[in-house]
Amino acid sequence: MNATTRLGLLGLALTLSACSVLESDKIDYKSATKGPTLEVPPDLSQLSRETRYTVPGSAVSAAAFEAGQAQQPRGAASAAPQSIGDVRIERDGNQRWLVVNRAPDQLWEPVRDFWLENGFVFTTEQPKLGILETDWAENRAKLPQDIIRSTIGKVFDSLYSTGERDKFRTRLERTANGSTEIFITHRGMAEVYTNTQKDSTVWQPRPADPELETEFLRRLMVALGVSEEQSKAAAAAPMPVTPGARMATVNDVPVVQLDEGFDRAWRRVGVSLDRTGFTVEDRDRSKGVYFVRYVAPTDKKEQGFFSKLFSRSPDASAPLKYRIVVRSEGNQSTVSVLNAAGAPETSANAQRIVRVLADDLK
């Protein structure tokens, strides 16, 4: 066997080994806090307790977010829970969530530990609201496992990048019977070239990944006591589709209309607020109200999607407080925006908020 043949066989073996690694473990996150991390759109701003995690880039409006959303097929809504022990997974359209027969305060620490063990750090921890949000992180399992990286990658690992970052928000919500619903929502960013010379890049939003959300829900099931086999079987059931959403105007007020009752509408709006990056300060399910903060977009580039590295633009608009209200009658629901005083909102901000919600709910 000559040297060329030996090298060829070695390359084949390495390639097969790399494929095996990627197939068996497609998730390997590493927090991006030691490098440039990302900030959310100014018109849908998540105002965490610390504001230093940002990178420079170009402005992205609600319309750009709207353009980046994946379109999902829609139809009649249905839910098909699968229960293992005190944990079950439910599905409705492209949404899945867990229902656990334990109180939220019993689940907070296990859920928090779950994300830490998966390589994340937090930018938001709000036990009273049941909200955990991770920093932007990179899935290192997507990196090519070639011979070059296997030999020098461990030394110069920071030189390798997937060009993608992911952030996850987990929301724990108590149900009427004392159990807990757990939602995991994903937001993604991708690094793209700004010119044909490929000498400059910016970060732009990419669509939320429901399959990635489902995989983390499945892994959380395992962390809560479900076996690997049981969790895979529960998560593998096909997803029914959900009726779409449409914008409308009622009494000169912009609204989103949904062809479903309150429980599903409330759940879908909550997930949409999480996916699109609103800061939810409080919620009152009995009144159908989410209390949110919103930062209006500006025309200034430095106040766009990203601000300067490790700083927040001094000219950024102050956050405004709104109420997102879900009102239902039978199998019809309407979502509208109220101002901080509880009066109907008809401003350009309300129009933008309603449009973003409608696009995510379609």
Q: Write out pLDDT tens, residues 107-125.
A: 999 999 999 999 999 999 9
Tell whether 173 and 261 lie within a shared domain: no
For residue 248, give the CATH number of its domain: 3.30.310.170
Share of the chain above pLDDT 70, in %: 66
Q: Is residue 132 part of a domain?
A: yes
Q: What is the pLDDT of residue 309?
A: 30
Q: Is residue 14 part of a domain?
A: no
Give φ, ψ of 283 to 5 degrees. Answer: -150, 150
Give the pLDDT confidence of 234-251 residue by residue, as tens digits.
Answer: 888 766 666 778 999 999
269 compared with 58, residue with greater pLDDT: 269
How many Å apart are CA 186 and CA 294, to the nearest integer? 19
Q: What is the pLDDT of residue 315?
A: 52
Burial classification of residue 96, based on how many CB atoms lie within 10 Å of its CB (0-12 exposed, 13-18 middle, 19 or more buried): buried
Whether residue 143 has pLDDT greater than 70: no
How many Å apart are CA 173 and CA 322, to the nearest integer? 21
For residue 114, give the CATH number of its domain: 3.30.530.50
Tell whether 272 and 332 lie within a shared domain: yes
Amino acid at 92: D
Last residue of a domain, one of 208, 239, 270: 239
70 compared with 244, residue with greater pLDDT: 244
List the beta bridge partners of residue 329. Answer: 332
| SS3 label, residue 191 | strand
Tell whether 88 and 233 lie within a shared domain: yes
Nearest in space to 362 (alpha carbons), one of 261, 258, 292: 258
Burial classification of residue 284, based on how many CB atoms lie within 10 Å of its CB (0-12 exposed, 13-18 middle, 19 or more buried): exposed
Number of domains the chain is built from: 2
Whether residue 347 has pLDDT greater than 90: yes
Tell whether 214 and 331 lie within a shared domain: no
Whether residue 147 has pLDDT greater than 80: no
Average pLDDT over every residue of 130-146: 81
Tell whether 138 and 265 lie within a shared domain: no
How many Å apart are CA 249 and CA 251, to the nearest integer? 7
Give φ, ψ of 197 to 5 degrees. Answer: -75, -15
Q: What is the pLDDT of residue 106?
A: 96
Q: What is the pLDDT of residue 349?
A: 92
Last residue of a domain, one of 239, 273, 305: 239
Tell whether 257 and 277 lie within a shared domain: yes
Q: What is the pLDDT of residue 316?
A: 55
Structural domain span for residue 355: 242-297+317-361
Share of the chain above pLDDT 90, in %: 46
Query: Looking at the chain, how many residues does it have?
Result: 362
CA dihedral (68, 72, 76, 80) in degrees, to 10, reads -110
How many Å apart are CA 90 and CA 100, to the nearest integer? 11
Tracing tokens 């907070």 back to the chain, one arrives at: 108
Can you state the angle between helices 228-235 and 210-223, rounded to 10 degrees?
150
Whether residue 89 has pLDDT greater than 80: yes
Q: Is residue 47 part of a domain?
A: no
Whether residue 42 has pLDDT greater than 70: no
Q: Is residue 329 part of a domain?
A: yes
Say what the pTM is. 0.71
Give the pLDDT confidence of 257-316 residue by residue, as tens digits.
Answer: 999 999 999 999 999 999 988 889 999 999 999 999 987 765 544 333 333 333 344 455
Q: Is residue 151 part of a domain?
A: no
Whether residue 79 has pLDDT greater than 80: no
Extended beta strands in 153-301, E state: 164-174, 180-193, 201-206, 245-250, 253-258, 279-284, 289-294
Extended beta strands in the chain, E state: 29-31, 82-84, 87-92, 95-100, 122-126, 131-134, 137-139, 164-174, 180-193, 201-206, 245-250, 253-258, 279-284, 289-294, 320-329, 332-339
Q: What is the pLDDT of residue 241?
A: 65
Quote the mean pLDDT of the chain: 75
Least confident span in 1-10, 211-220, 244-253: 1-10
List the beta bridge partners of residue 344. Answer: 338
Nearest in space to 185 (alpha carbons), one of 291, 79, 68, 269: 269
Tell whether 212 and 117 lie within a shared domain: yes
